[in-house]
Amino acid sequence: MNITPEQASELIQNRRSLYPTVYNDQPVDDAIVNTMLENANWAPTHRLTQPWRFTVFTGSGLEKLGNFQADLYRKKAEASGTFDTGKYEKLKQKPLQCSHIIAIGMKRDPKERVPEVEEVMATACAVQNMYLTASAYGVGGYWGTGGITYYEEAKPFFGLEPDDKLLGFFYLGMPKISKWPESKRDPIEEKVHWERV
């Protein structure tokens, strides 16, 4: 490998979530998005089931996604008497703040060769690869699981079947901020227990 362990650690520790409010109106190069997807495809996967599936929205595809999710939200929220105009408008408009949005799907192995949770975990590894790649290119992005993520009715729009899962959306845009954001974690020592003989 041409990168040093120190470079790998630097990338991992400087990966950040950047939100649409800090995106400018410049597009992310499709070539970078393709590299993100290619790297996602190299995630670990038990029995090589490769469960990750992605739908990429850009250009007028973003409007299509916004209309779909806002209308689906309205249909469900009106039926349960919880409709909120602000939420509807946010679902409709938020995609337009992005350069690309990647819908994240998990395709259930028809032979169920591994437990479902392992397919979700493998897909999460694929998303981490996308996150790292975006950060390496200085592209803003984050994984969001709000909105219609867990609506059963949303699945067909993303080519997913009832046994599959929609796991959220990866939002992408070029950052208008000059300083890469800070993040924080509690010390790893608080989360690890070593046993030595």
Ligand X SMILES: Cc1cc2nc3c(=O)[nH]c(=O)nc-3n(C[C@H](O)[C@H](O)[C@H](O)COP(=O)(O)O)c2cc1C
What's the min distance (Å) between Cβ of 106 and ligand X?
Answer: 12
Exposed e or buried b per residue across 10-47, where buried means at least 16 C-beta atoms within 10 angstroms of its C-beta: eeeeebbebbbeebeeebbeeebbebbbebbeebebee
Say how far residue 73 (Cα) sits from the centre of its chain: 20
- For ligand X, which residue of 144, 151, 155, 164 counts as binding (CB under 6 A)? 144
- Residue 121 CB, nearest distance to ligand X (Å)? 11
Q: Decide: is 142 part of the binding site for ligand X (CB under 6 A).
A: yes
21 binding ligand X? (CB under 6 A): no
Q: Establish if 16 lies at the interface with ligand X (CB under 6 A).
A: yes
Choice from 83, 88, 143, 180 touching ligand X (CB under 6 A):
143
Q: Is 183 in the site for ligand X (CB under 6 A)?
A: yes
Number of residues in contact with ligand X, rule: CB under 6 A?
A: 9
Secondary structure in 3-state letters for 43-105:
CCCHHHCCCEEEEEEECHHHHHHHHHHHHHHHHHHHHHCCCCHHHHHHHHHHHHHCCEEEEEE
- Closest CB to ligand X among residues 9, 145: 145
Using CB under 6 A, list all residues that contact ligand X. Answer: 16-17, 142-146, 168, 183
